[in-house]
Amino acid sequence: MSATTENRIALVTGASRGIGRVIAEKLAEAGYHLAICGTRPETIEQAADAIRAASGVEVLARAVNVAERDEIQTFVQETAKHYGRLDVLVNNAGITRDNISMRMKPEEWQQVIDTNLSSVFHAMQAALRPMMKARGGRIINISSVVASMGNPGQLNYCASKGGIDAMTRSLAREIGSRGITVNAIAPGFIATDMTAELGEDANRALAEQIPLGRLGQPEDVAAAVVFLAGDGGGYITGQVLHVNGGMYM
């Protein structure tokens, strides 16, 4: 990637809160100008305002339903047109619709596949044209440890994340000759608003399953994204980087 960090452009989906918000913040701190999306206009604009105020970078923010092919592809195309380039794509948006397999409703399956898996393909497909034109780019997909471990009650979620890992390896082989790297990051148990709602006892039980003895922080995932997005990640492609404190080896 020939551009300096200060004029590189990164697009992050699902960036209004949680891991995606911190990924966007850390990329901004590293000097990237951003395009971010979330599902609700007010929350994604609040995130954009906070990032602009803290880092001084430019932030393009949109409400996007990533499960809709036209919406996510239009946002990727708008980003590339607005900035004149797209250097980094971070596919972070995701949902859960947990249920045991024999009771899982068709819509619970389809919503997770559309949001977590199909959206990643659609975003990557749209990003390929500007990245191939520039003969370089970084695609970073946020997977999950459960893609490797499995998890009861999350057949749909595990399938979506396993699909991300497979797509990552396949696309890396397909476009490596164009100077574009494609990697996935698989977080383990990360402390977010969702885990906080489980309560102290549940979080303690989760931490006991982790060799490092604690839940991860969104910053742990974001640090891996910043590394893979930067020059240090230039010879890494087709990999799934586990950020899980050792809970899966």
Determine the pLDDT at residue 3: 60
pLDDT at 5 over 70: no
Rounded to the nearest integer, the mean pLDDT of the chain is 96
Q: 5-243 belongs to which homologous superfamily?
A: NAD(P)-binding Rossmann-like Domain (3.40.50.720)
Confidence of residue 2 (pLDDT cuts 50, 70, 90): very low
Mean pLDDT of 131-160: 97
Q: What is the DSSP string of 199-219?
A: -HHHHHHHHTTSTTSS-B-HH
Integer CA distances (angstroms), 203 to 13, 62, 96, 221, in order: 27, 33, 19, 18
Beta strand 137-142 pairing with 59-63: unpaired
Q: Please write the tens of the pLDDT for every residue from 98-122.
A: 999 999 999 999 999 999 999 999 9
Residue 157 annotated as catalytic? yes
Scan for tokens 């780019």, then name that residue.
137
CA atoms of 246 and 25, how far apart (whole Å): 26
Q: Pick the catalytic residue: 32, 157, 235, 248?
A: 157
Distances from the Cα of 144 to the Cα of 121, 167, 186, angstroms: 17, 14, 4
pTM, full prediction: 0.96
What residues does each domain of the chain span?
Answer: 5-243
Helix %, strand %, coil % of the chain (to 5): 55, 15, 30
> What average pLDDT does range 179-197 have in this prediction?
90
Q: Which amino acid is at 98?
A: D
What percent of the chain shows pLDDT beyond 70? 97
Residues counted in the chain: 249
Look at residue 126 and give its three-state secondary structure: helix
